[in-house]
Amino acid sequence: MTAKRADFPLLASSPGLHYLDSAATSQKPRAVLDAMMHYYTHDNANPHRGAYALSARATDRYHQARETIAAFVGVRDSACLIFTRGTTESLNLVATAWGRANVGRDDEIVITGLEHHANFVPWQQLANAVGAKLRICDVTADGRVDIDQFRTLVGPRTKVAAFNHVSNALGTINPVREMIAIAHAAGAIVVCDGAQAAPHLPLDIDALGADFYAFSGHKMLGPMGCGVLVGKRAVLEAMPPYQTGGDMIEYVADDRSTWNVLPHKFEAGTPNVADAVGLAAACDYLQQLGMADVRAHEQTLTALATERLLAIPEVAVYGPPPAERSGVVSFTVGQIHPHDLATILDELDVCIRAGHHCAQPLMRRLNLPATARASFYVYNSEADVDALVAGVQRAREVFG
């Protein structure tokens, strides 16, 4: 089943708009917006606090949202699903709270050259702060993790291996099962950045077995400002909290405090209930479409766009073949700078991303200053591919 454009108020009200930047953020279906509005108009109170029915209802909504999202991504122990502001905050939580407690001088941190800055800079900063070594796995010419090198980089001094499930810049789907097995065999913990996987692939986080798995709500039809960190119970219980304050404590003495149980230990302050409710509605919506169908739909459009773009002279598409990518087509057109391309496409109501995609280390490795990136999601169709191709042809006319 594919999504109806009419389900998305922004797209329904802009019939000529070709939104091809869902890897940056997705549009929102009415069901998500309605769920959030319903929460604020019927159930809003501060959860976990009030001794009155309304607060109890808010608490219920919040917990139901957590259960729904946990079931959708394959997490049985929903108390191990922590709400954050998004993938960036989830990864900073791990690098800071777990990292400072577990990584020391001369320990090693393994990441890859394929990372988004959100899964690169926190580890770089941790390494610099504690005197650990940051080891960066190479990327092959076709935009994959060099798995042979990864195998040699992970060793007895490796405390943590952090890598994305799917690359935001190229759409590469990484062999995460194999990478997790390699890291675990060396005794390292695994942090997986799932920001580009959770929206696009059927996901079973428990089966995958990463120690931490992070994703964002806003890239999967949910609201901005709400994301998730899933952790293994033993790891979460052993590590210190990230932020301290209300809700996350058990008992506060004058000179020390004890922590609340999971997930509250990692959710200091008033939680973002409405956005959690919205994200749960997004999971319900995706569940109805069926994630296998979502994947198949994106694969069809990605293959079609890749084929039609490559038929245009001077177009280069980066990353592995379409079958091994999510719904991302990262490309360049001869000497036309991607920003100029994006401006020309914009006049034809085609929205694409142009630039380094928050992945400067990757762009250096591929020796590219920038690429244009079109990314597909449930509401896109062949008409969007037609518009993209027409826009690229128009850009070639302008630039002669």
Partner 1 sequence: MSNTDALYQEIILEHNRKPRNFREMPDANRTIEGRNPLCGDSLTLWLKLTDDAISDISFKGQGCAISKASASLMTAAVKGKTRAEAEEIFERFHRLVTGKMPEAEHAAMGSLRALGGVSKFPLRVKCASLAWHALHSALDSASADVSTEREGPEAPPGEGA
Contacts of 308 (CB under 8 A, 6+ apart): 385, 389
Contacts of 364 (CB under 8 A, 6+ apart): none
Cβ count within 10 A of residue 279: 32
CB 132 within 8 A of CB 106: yes
Question: Three-state SS for 14?
Answer: coil
Torsion angle defined by CA atoms of residues 68, 241, 224 and 318, in that order, rounded to the nearest 10 degrees: -100
| Burial class, 26, CB count within 10 angstroms (exposed 0-12 / middle 13-18 / buried 19+) | buried
> Among residues 137, 192, 351, 358, which one is catalytic?
358
Min dist. Cβ of residue 247 to partner 1 (A): 29
Q: Is 351 a catalytic residue?
A: no
Q: Note the residue count of the chain.
A: 400
Min dist. Cβ of residue 378 to partner 1 (A): 18
Residue 91: HSE in the Cβ half-sphere, 13 Å Cα cutoff: 30
Residue closer to partner 1, measured from CB, 147 or 224: 224
Residue closer to partner 1, measured from CB, 356 or 365: 356
Residue closer to partner 1, measured from CB, 25 or 244: 25
Min dist. Cβ of residue 169 to partner 1 (A): 9
Q: Which of 276, 190, 193 is nearest to 229 (CA)?
A: 193
Residue closer to partner 1, measured from CB, 138 or 340: 340
Residue ranges binding partner 1 (CB under 8 A): 21, 23-25, 116, 168, 195-196, 219, 336-340, 343-344, 347, 353-358, 360, 363, 369-370, 398-400
Residue closer to partner 1, measured from CB, 21 or 108: 21
Pinpoint the alpha helices (H) of the chain: 9-12, 30-38, 53-72, 87-93, 99-102, 121-130, 147-153, 176-185, 205-208, 233-238, 273-289, 291-310, 338-347, 360-366, 382-398
Residue closer to partner 1, measured from CB, 59 or 326: 326
Min dist. Cβ of residue 209 to partner 1 (A): 25
Residue closer to partner 1, measured from CB, 267 or 275: 275
CB 173 within 8 A of CB 327: no
Min dist. Cβ of residue 363 to partner 1 (A): 7
Question: Three-state SS for 188?
Answer: coil
Question: Three-state SS for 140?
Answer: coil
Min dist. Cβ of residue 387 to partner 1 (A): 15
CB 7 within 8 A of CB 201: no
CB 350 within 8 A of CB 309: no
Min dist. Cβ of residue 158 to partner 1 (A): 27
What positions carry a catalytic annotation? 358
